[in-house]
Amino acid sequence: MPQAKTRPIQTRLRNLVAQLPQPSQLLFGKRGAGPVLPDNIVCFQRRTASELNRPRQGRALHHRFVLIVALEGAAEVCVDDQVIRLGQGLGLLVFPFQFHHYIHPESEKIRWLFVTFELTEHEALAGLRSQPFEVTPNLEVLLEELLTAYREPKAGDLPALLLAVFFARLRRQKTSPRAEQAAPGGTSLVMQVNRLAVKGSQRLGTKQIADSIGISKSHLRARFRASCGVSLGRHLRRVRLEKASGLLRLGRQRVSEIAELCGFASIYSFSRAFKTAYGVSPLAYRGKNPEAARRPSLSG
């Protein structure tokens, strides 16, 4: 019976194995931290600059993370009140509730990878906020494996595991010196407002937010509208609803508990506001086809 051909083991693996010590204890080793995995992963591409601001024109805002990788072509990504230029071989992670849109493309033809996902523990990726990075060969290999697994119907948890490994490796990598970033000093106004809006269950008004930031109500309203193009009140309502939609998809709380966590006075006011914004009730959104719900309107 003919023997199956075997592939020779690579020299690098042989060398790494040769460097392994002989452990004194075979039952005690390195323990994992048990990280929460990304969920509800969607991978897609944009091939033209005019597609970048779709599905609607204007500044996007939602409860999902957005991993952006520029494979071909360059453009500027406006995140809150920062402008970050992404060129070939660079990436950026946009956090939930960050306004973002795209300007000044180098050319109409591009090829950018987008990976959007949800994560219950945002702090795990806090060090990557507004930090463009270089896609090193190691990261490129992980992205290749992620996309291969994503297209495999029976991949199971493999895409989530690969994405978690990608971010674990990225956290160890220094920010690319090739990234061109023009950003104000300190934490941006929009970022401060967003953090206050999603922290805890208390519904903060304009005065409480202004007091927390240390400016007057009128100054806060004027600066926010100048930066984002929408009123502060409308923005806060939308942030609360986006937070609620994320909890409906990922959380296990009852709808009444989610209404309270997102600062609504009652489940009735929450249900009414949610249906006005998304076109379906909170229970329907939590059902089998939440992607059928339309995006909330800025004018709603």
**Would you state the pLDDT for residue 299?**
36
Question: Three-state SS for 104?
Answer: coil
Element (DSSP H or E) covering residue 85: strand 82-86
Please answer whether residues 276 and 244 qualify as being in contact, where contact means their C-beta atoms are separated by less than 8 angstroms: no
Residue-range domain boundaries for the chain: 39-182, 189-292
Q: What is the DSSP string of 233-297?
A: HHHHHHHHHHHHHHHHHH----HHHHHHHTT-S-HHHHHHHHHHHHSS-HHHHTSS-GGGSPPPP
Q: Which two tokens stand for residue 232?
A: 């502060």
**Would you state the pLDDT for residue 191?**
72
Please answer whether residues 225 and 232 qualify as being in contact, where contact means their C-beta atoms are separated by less than 8 angstroms: yes
* pTM greater than 0.85 (yes/no): no
Q: Which CATH superfamily is domain 39-182 in?
A: Regulatory protein AraC (2.60.120.280)
Q: How far is CA 31 from CA 4, 35, 97, 171, in A?
A: 37, 12, 33, 19
**Would you state the pLDDT for residue 108?**
92
Strand order from edge to edge, sheet including 75-79: 100-103, 75-79, 82-86, 180-182
d(CA 251, CA 268): 20
pLDDT in tens, the chain (300 residues): 556 566 666 787 778 788 888 777 766 666 655 567 898 899 999 999 988 887 655 556 677 899 999 999 999 998 876 889 999 999 999 988 777 888 889 999 999 999 999 887 777 888 888 889 999 999 999 999 999 999 998 989 999 999 999 999 998 885 444 444 444 444 567 777 877 776 665 677 788 888 888 888 888 888 888 776 678 888 888 888 878 887 787 667 888 888 888 888 888 988 998 888 888 888 888 874 444 344 444 333
Establish whether domains 39-182 and 189-292 are of one fold: no
Element (DSSP H or E) covering residue 298: none
Fold of the 189-292 domain: Arc Repressor Mutant, subunit A (1.10.10)
Angle between helices 189-198 and 206-213 (to 10 degrees): 120
